[in-house]
């Protein structure tokens, strides 16, 4: 078919489609903040059960620290306990030593993202959460969002608000949502993460994955930052298991 492309129609299509989606997701079941490995796993597993899930990421790209592997070597390590999640998401791996499996970081991120997308997760990248909404019942029930470039350039542009029944802080080392709630409400107490100690950190991050304020769960490095757990570097099994643990806990609430 002979068709002339019209630039205005292209622009109208992009704006219309995304604005309609944004309007639809002004209210959602679960908002996951941070599209690193734990956030991707959490969002994918929740959306698979038919819940409306929005994944908010401040950066242009998703994947968090997993993209870069270890010091820009595009490989990650996953321990024995988490290999089943690599298999579940179709991420190829090979055994380097007993209990140590290597995987390609780019493949891992893209397959987790594809799984989340296939499950029905809606992505909102270049979007930052600058505040939270907590009303009379003391439950976190909404997020105050803005474009990340607005925050980065310090422009005085008022934000918008979205509603969510549950929120997951998967923002990594900064634990952004937990710190916002702590600053406004005096809890939870944010202990900050400890030094590098992979063995301790990998088990702690799963144990620390839980609800820390009514309506707010933490997973991934945000969980260790809240509870004082250590960091683990480019071993990502704990991240995957933490995302799974958060999803399981949240699904029990619906």
Residue 157 counted as an annotated binding residue: yes
| pLDDT mean values, one per 10 residues, the chain (254 residues) | 89 98 98 98 98 98 94 97 98 98 98 98 98 96 97 96 98 97 95 96 97 98 98 97 98 97
145: alpha, beta or left, given left = phi > 0 and alpha = psi -120 to 50? beta
- pLDDT (0 to 100) of residue 248: 98
Residue 78 counted as an annotated binding residue: no
Residue 202 counted as an annotated binding residue: no
The CATH fold assigned to 7-251 is FAD/NAD(P)-binding domain (3.50.50)
CA 105-201-87 angle, 5° bins: 40
Residue 38 counted as an annotated binding residue: yes
Residue 32 counted as an annotated binding residue: no
The values of phi and psi at residue 129, to 5°, are -100, 115
Residue 129 counted as an annotated binding residue: yes
- pLDDT (0 to 100) of residue 2: 74
| 131/180 Cα distance (integer angstroms) | 7
Residue 107 counted as an annotated binding residue: no
The token pair that represents 251 in the structure block: 């699904």
Residue 59 counted as an annotated binding residue: no
The answer to whether 41 and 243 are in contact (CB under 8 A) is yes
- pLDDT (0 to 100) of residue 135: 92
- pLDDT (0 to 100) of residue 3: 83
pTM of the predicted model over 0.95: yes
Residue 58 counted as an annotated binding residue: yes
Longest dimension (CA), the chain: 64
- pLDDT (0 to 100) of residue 1: 67
Residue 144 counted as an annotated binding residue: no
Residue 156 counted as an annotated binding residue: yes
The values of phi and psi at residue 123, to 5°, are -95, 135
| 22/47 Cα distance (integer angstroms) | 17
């Amino acid at each position: 078919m002979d068709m002339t492309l019209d630039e205005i129609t292209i622009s109208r299509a992009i704006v219309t489609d995304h604005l309609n989606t944004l309007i639809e997701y002004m209210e959602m079941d679960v908002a996951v903040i941070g599209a690193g490995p734990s956030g991707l796993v959490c969002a994918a597993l929740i959306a698979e059960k038919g819940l409306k899930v929005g994944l908010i990421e401040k950066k242009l790209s998703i994947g968090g620290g997993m993209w870069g592997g270890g010091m820009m070597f595009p490989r990650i390590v996953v321990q024995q306990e988490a290999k089943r999640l690599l298999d579940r998401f179709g991420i190829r791996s090979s055994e380097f030593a007993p209990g140590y499996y290597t995987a390609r970081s780019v493949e891992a991120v893209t397959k987790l993202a594809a799984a989340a997308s296939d499950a029905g997760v809606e992505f909102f990248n270049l979007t930052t959460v600058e505040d939270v909404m907590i009303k009379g019942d003391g439950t976190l029930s909404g997020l105050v969002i803005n474009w990340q470039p607005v925050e980065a350039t310090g422009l005085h542009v008022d934000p918008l608000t979205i509603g969510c029944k549950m929120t997951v802080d998967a923002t990594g080392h900064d634990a952004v949502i937990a710190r916002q709630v702590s600053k406004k409400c005096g809890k939870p107490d944010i202990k900050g993460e400890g030094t590098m100690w992979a063995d301790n950190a990998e088990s702690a991050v799963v144990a620390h994955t839980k609800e820390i304020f009514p309506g707010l769960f933490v997973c991934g490095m945000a969980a260790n930052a809240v509870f004082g757990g250590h960091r683990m570097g480019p071993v990502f099994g704990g991240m995957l298991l933490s995302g799974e643990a958060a999803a399981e806990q949240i699904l029990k609430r619906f």
